[in-house]
Amino acid sequence: MHELFRAEAEKQLGVLTSGLLELERTRAPARALESLMRAAHSLKGAARIVDLHSAVTVAHAMEDCFVAAQQGVLTLHQAETDLLLQGVDLLTQLARRPEADLPAWEKESVTHIERFLKAIASLTRQPHFPPQSASQTISQPPASLPAPAASPASPPAVVNLSDAGRSAADAAVQAFSSRRPEPPERILRLTAENLNRLLGLAGESLVESRWLRPFTDSLQRLKRSQIEIGIQVAALRSTLEEHPLPERVKTHFQELNRQLADSRAFLADRIKDLETFDRRSAQLSHRLYLEVLRTRMRPFGEGVRRFPRMIRDLARSLGKEVKLEIFGESTPVDRDILECLETPLAHLMHNAVDHGCESPQQRERAGKPVENVIRLEARHSAGVLLITVTDDGAGVNPESVREAIIQKQLIQPEIAAKLSEADLLEFLFLPGFSLREEVTEISGRGVGLDLVQNMVKSVRGTIRISNQPGRGLRIQLHLPLTLSVLRALLVEVGGEPYAIPLNQMARAARIPRSEIGTLEGRPIFQLGDQRLALITSHQLLDYPLPPVTPEDLPVVVLGERNARFGLAVDRFLGERELVVQPLEKRLGKITGISAAAFNEEGAPVLIVDVEDLVKSMEKLVAEGMPVGIQRGSLGLAAQRRKRILVADDSLTVREMQRKLLTRLGYTAEVAADGIEAWNAVRHGDFDLLITDVDMPRMDGFELTSLIKRDPHLKAVPVLIVSYKDREDDRLRGLDAGADYYLTKGSFNDKLLIQAVTDLIGEPDS
């Protein structure tokens, strides 16, 4: 949870810093103050979850200040902004401290924190506080806080020069003016938005250049048609020449043959020119795209600079000797992907040191060098970015995984005994699954690999894990080179095209109708050693079922190895490269769809959300498959688990609640704000909604009212968990229709569990 808090704190502190600077530059308080208040509020909630009381008080004081500014009680001048930035520095230092060092740091910084809180209190109590005196209430910050950087816009200091000084200055100016002018600066500053738009246009150009190929093919068909016409004309002339022909008819035939020959020659020349232009246009568009793509690329080494020190400190704390080898530091990586990589790679590094690497004594007994080696590598291969983390430690004992699965009652013992090593390793990525019996500061909560998998899926990537017991573990991330262009398989469903990302497909195949069987009334088919449920795409995308099933059914296999399904489509349309176009935000989350694109003809294509579809297929199978039928190679008994939606804008809060509910046996899903929760509730079948009150776009009170006014959703229980602990707030929540109201101030796991069981009962066993 502290790792999650640090990740969220970094995000919210960035919002606070940028918002305060924007407020200072633009003086547009309405927009800036709203985001500042929400950032401080989210940070306060996250800090309360992990019991960082100093962070709670500082964030709460800053939130009060922003609220006072929103109400017009306080005006934020430069001095007030400086004071609030000192609060950001305090929270930054606190968030970056290791968990073990926090008590000592809080004890050392208590005086400065108290001064900061007093200064904030004086601001909120005095509406017309003098702008310059606010900062005077704060003494010099401690050495651990970074000193404020000098402003580049500060006016130059005024210097009085003596006569000698003026002469020297005049001579210096003259010497400077006599020098040859230096070449202009070759650095151009662009915003990320400009680069994103430029990359999108370059990607569209790359896709549009492929439009010429089908056009050239159509001209080739026209050329063949002309040849056939010439053959028919020659045959007609041969038939007519069996009888004497008038000279005029012969002349017409000769002219017709000449025109056909000229037309074929002209068309052949134009096709040749068009093919040449097609090749040049495609090459130029490809080069343009690559050049623009390079502007978004950053060296892989920039994102892993802190890892060598992190590995060194972590290894020493565990009494191990570990060396980190980094290969491919110059490998270009999309900056968006590079930003997403840091936290997941840090988790993989932690796991490698804590779980994989061995102590010096263990390595000596195994005949290995005393020093462990962790290898981190980045490279491009076949249009994919490969990030590989390898250690030469003990690896993973498959039997230990099997025992943990049985102990946690994830599947039945007789099924666990039949699982292969590849199947067992997939359990390492389950939420809350860990081989560590005791929870430490480094590991044991089963959060790390779960977060890695979520990140990889969010960028349409995949994970592959290979294990050699006694020799080490290898985890490889397969990621797209960029998020703007997607290689996909186009399929047709109900007469409409859909794109399925290639890197999220297990395979595509045509299954003969004779090989499709039924089991307890459910269609199934055999794929290698797996028996997979077959689900038609018409069920998932709300199309009427086709009247006729073809002899060879086009099927796309989706999902992880332990939970794969066959998705039947109408037909395959081929592979394409598509420029990803985000959907209009006002549409909210559309079930089964992640984005859109345009094909070569300019027609819109919807891009499938594979993870969403797999969840829908799991739900269909769980609700409709009789008990005892095996799903994939896991053989899980299909029964419907009670589903709970957690809506909270704090990553830490919603992740904590999701993992708690998952451990209890519920199926828990999350939403980051009210609009997302509203769309999820409308399209999903949930047994309970747990919601915060203060959320962007739609608060919890409005969300609850919408649900209770909807005739199809009003039976869904709503549990509000909020920091608003006044009686008026509680009554407002109950008036909106909430079935339960908990305050986060008195929040604990037992209260939440009791409230959930009171509303929907115990989880299904």
pLDDT in tens, 61-101: 888 888 888 777 777 777 787 788 888 888 888 887 777 77
The label of the residue with tokens 């795409």 reads: 537
Do residue 435 and residue 329 come from a single domain?
yes
pLDDT score for 518: 67
* Residue predicted with more confidence, 625 or 297: 297
pLDDT category at 630 given cuts 50, 70, 90 is: very low
How far, in Å, CA of 715 to CA of 681, rounded? 12
Highest-pLDDT range among 22-26, 148-152, 268-272, 549-553: 268-272
User: Contact, 44 vs 745, CB < 8 A?
Assistant: no
pLDDT in tens, 228-285: 887 887 777 777 777 777 878 778 878 888 888 888 888 888 888 777 877 777 777 7
pLDDT category at 456 given cuts 50, 70, 90 is: confident
Q: What CATH number has the domain bearing residue 753?
A: 3.40.50.2300
Phi, psi of 282 (to 5 degrees): -65, -40
Helical (H) or strand (E) element with 288: helix 247-296
Would you say residue 187 lies in a domain? no
**Is 501 a residue whose pLDDT tops 80?**
yes
Would you say residue 457 lies in a domain? yes
**Is 40 a residue whose pLDDT tops 60?**
yes
Closest CA to 385 of 423, 347, 340, 451: 340
Across 376-388, average pLDDT: 87
Number of domains comprising the chain: 5
What is the chain's percent helix, strand, coil content, to nearest 5? 50, 20, 30
First to last CA, the chain: 27
pLDDT score for 145: 38
Across 688-705, average pLDDT: 87
Do residue 580 and residue 659 come from a single domain?
no
Do residue 370 and residue 475 come from a single domain?
yes
Beta-bridged to residue 668, according to DSSP, are: 644
Closest CA to 549 of 495, 496, 500, 511: 511
* Structure token digits, residue 622: 């769980």
Using alpha carbons only, how large is the chain's radius of gyration in Å? 33
Of 151-160, 312-321, 453-462, 534-543, minimum mean pLDDT range: 151-160
Q: Which of 137, 167, 198 is the last residue of a domain?
A: 137
pLDDT in tens, 113-139: 888 888 888 876 643 333 333 333 333
Do residue 506 and residue 611 come from a single domain?
yes
Highest-pLDDT range among 476-485, 565-574, 617-626: 565-574
What is the rounded (10 degree) CA torsion for 50, 56, 62, 67? 90
Closest CA to 535 of 589, 615, 417, 645: 615
User: Contact, 403 vs 424, CB < 8 A?
Assistant: no
Count of other CB atoms within 10 angstroms of residue 662:
20
Of 122-136, 147-161, 302-316, 566-580, minimum mean pLDDT range: 147-161
* Structure token digits, residue 661: 């509910």
Q: How many Cα neighbours within 13 Å face the side chain of 464?
A: 10
Return the DSSP state at 355: I
Do residue 267 and residue 330 come from a single domain?
no
pLDDT in tens, 647-664: 988 877 887 888 888 888
Helical (H) or strand (E) element with 297: strand 297-299
**Is 535 a residue whose pLDDT tops 60?**
yes
pLDDT category at 158 given cuts 50, 70, 90 is: very low
Across 407-436, average pLDDT: 75
Return the DSSP state at 690: E
pLDDT score for 443: 52
The label of the residue with tokens 């089908």 reads: 214
pLDDT category at 182 given cuts 50, 70, 90 is: very low
Q: Quote the mean pLDDT of the chain.
A: 75
Across 615-624, average pLDDT: 71
Domain range enclosing 590: 485-624
* Residue predicted with more confidence, 521 or 168: 521
pLDDT score for 389: 92
**Is 166 a residue whose pLDDT tops 70?**
no
**Is 598 a residue whose pLDDT tops 80?**
no
* Residue predicted with more confidence, 208 or 496: 496
Would you say residue 568 lies in a domain? yes
How far, in Å, CA of 576 to CA of 571, rounded? 15
Instruction: Please report, for the chain, how many H helices and E strands are present, in that order.
Output: 23, 23
Would you say residue 371 lies in a domain? yes
**Is 371 a residue whose pLDDT tops 50?**
yes
pLDDT category at 173 given cuts 50, 70, 90 is: very low
pLDDT category at 440 given cuts 50, 70, 90 is: low
What is the rounded (10 degree) CA torsion for 341, 347, 349, 354? 180
**Is 750 a residue whose pLDDT tops 70?**
yes
**Is 183 a residue whose pLDDT tops 50?**
no
| Cα→Cα distances 56→8, 13, 338, Å | 14, 14, 31
* Residue predicted with more confidence, 522 or 469: 469
Please tell me whether the overall predicted TM-score, pTM, comes out greater than 0.85 for this model: no
Across 144-150, average pLDDT: 38
Across 312-338, average pLDDT: 85
Do residue 476 and residue 328 come from a single domain?
yes
Phi, psi of 576 (to 5 degrees): -145, 155
Q: Please state, for a pLDDT cut of 70, what percent of the chain lies above it.
A: 79
Q: What CATH number has the domain bearing residue 431?
A: 3.30.565.10
Helical (H) or strand (E) element with 572: strand 571-579
The label of the residue with tokens 């910084």 reads: 109
Across 404-409, average pLDDT: 79
**Is 606 a residue whose pLDDT tops 80?**
yes
Crossing angle of helices 247-296 and 192-209, in 10° steps, is 160
Would you say residue 151 lies in a domain? no
Beta-bridged to residue 326, according to DSSP, are: 376
* Residue predicted with more confidence, 574 or 748: 574
Crossing angle of helices 335-351 and 2-26, in 10° steps, is 150
pLDDT score for 744: 67
Q: What CATH number has the domain bearing residue 7?
A: 1.20.120.160
* Residue predicted with more confidence, 143 or 11: 11
Would you say residue 765 lies in a domain? no
Q: Which of 624, 655, 673 is the last residue of a domain?
A: 624
Of 78-82, 92-96, 391-395, 559-563, minimum mean pLDDT range: 559-563
How far, in Å, CA of 191 to CA of 197, rounded? 10
Do residue 291 and residue 418 come from a single domain?
no
Do residue 454 and residue 502 come from a single domain?
no
User: Which of helix, strand or coil describes residue 552?
Assistant: strand
Beta-carbon contacts of residue 201 (< 8 Å; ≥ 6 apart): none
pLDDT category at 387 given cuts 50, 70, 90 is: very high
DSSP-assigned letters across all residues of 440-481? -SSS-SS-HHHHHHHHHHHTT-EEEEEEETTTEEEEEEEEES
Do residue 680 and residue 608 come from a single domain?
no
Residue 422 CA, chain-centre distance (Å), reads 25
Would you say residue 596 lies in a domain? yes
* Residue predicted with more confidence, 588 or 153: 588
Q: Is the dihedral of CA 500, 506, 512, 516 positive or negative?
A: negative
pLDDT score for 323: 85
Do residue 122 and residue 252 come from a single domain?
no
pLDDT category at 622 given cuts 50, 70, 90 is: low
Would you say residue 306 lies in a domain? no
Across 493-500, average pLDDT: 88
Q: Which of 263, 298, 333 is the last residue of a domain?
A: 298
Across 696-725, average pLDDT: 86
**Is 408 a residue whose pLDDT tops 60?**
yes
Return the DSSP state at 45: H
How far, in Å, CA of 738 to CA of 749, rounded? 20
**Is 420 a residue whose pLDDT tops 50?**
yes
Phi, psi of 75 (to 5 degrees): -110, 130
User: Which of helix, strand or coil describes residue 719?
Assistant: strand
Phi, psi of 147 (to 5 degrees): -75, 140
Do residue 611 and residue 498 come from a single domain?
yes
Do residue 344 and residue 473 come from a single domain?
yes
In the sheet with 667-671, reading across from the earlier edge strand, the strands are 667-671, 643-647, 688-691, 718-722, 740-743
Q: What CATH number has the domain bearing residue 581?
A: 2.40.50.180
pLDDT category at 2 given cuts 50, 70, 90 is: confident
DSSP-assigned letters across all residues of 111-174? HHHHHHHHHHHHHHH-TT--TTTTGGGS-PPPTTSPPPPPPTTPPPPP----HHHHHHHHHHHH
